[in-house]
Amino acid sequence: MRRVVFNQKGGVGKSSITINLAAISAQQGRRTLVLDLDPQGNASQYLLGDAASFGRDIPELSPNVGQFFAQSLSFKMKEKPLSEFVHPTPFANLYLIPSNPELREIEHMLESKHKIYKMASALKELSESYDEIFIDTPPAFNFYTLSALIAAERCLIPFDCDAFSRRALYTLIENVEETTKDHNSGLLIEGIIINQFQPRASLPVKLVAELKAEGLPVLDPALTSSVIMRESHQRCQPLIHLAPKHKLTGEFVNLFQRLSSR
């Protein structure tokens, strides 16, 4: 199954949701791949820590997804398959194609050369080697998110119980439905994941109830807010490995089981 985690709004937990669902998949014995299409590389650093960091004096991890796309811009270069850009992680059955900042620099060239279907064909071939593929995306509806939506079979939408997020949600759903109509008839919105939920606060409870009343595919359980997630990021350990008995970990496990049973 190829799943994309997508929201045009930043700070809603895309990378956290991507990595923790993927880690649970791998922990349950499924061969699992994470593809990081966000130039910020948060998902890559979550799994590999300093090895995936980059900066002025720190070269990016290689090979990476930016190099995969860049090779298609040169007629002199023999293109390598996406399988050659995969890195192992410290966790059994869990693999990563890391991001890098070059994605920003080459985006307009990829658009001009109509490379929007390149990832779809590559991931379809790679799907034969993996039980689950999770795609993390940048907080924008751009070339990379559209590439991911075209390549995916299911779309998960994080929602953080904010009034601005709710207004953006309708536009997001329209974009996904338009992509389904124009580019990928097999793409389905698998559900809306309520993230950083506060069950004792009236506004989040009210917003979630209204979304369900509108018939939107809100998934249960919601993911509650917890400081354990920050510790998970800092220590570069998904929750299933850092705190397997924590309440939030249990919510992720239940969510993954629900997705898997469909």
Q: Concatenated DSSP letters for 104-143?
A: HHHHHHHHHTT-TTHHHHHHHHHGGG-SEEEEE--SSSSH
Provide the domain limits for residue 228: 2-260
Question: What is the number of structural domains in the chain?
Answer: 1
Over range 91-99, report the average pLDDT: 98
pTM of the shown model:
0.95
Q: In the predicted model, is pLDDT for residue 72 greater than 80?
A: yes
> Model confidence over 144-179: pLDDT tens digits?
999 999 999 999 999 998 877 888 899 999 999 999
Cβ contact 18:143 at 8 Å: no
Over range 40-57, report the average pLDDT: 87
What sign results for the dihedral spanned by CA atoms 251, 259, 168, 144? positive
CATH of the domain at 69: 3.40.50.300
Average of per-residue pLDDT values in the chain: 94
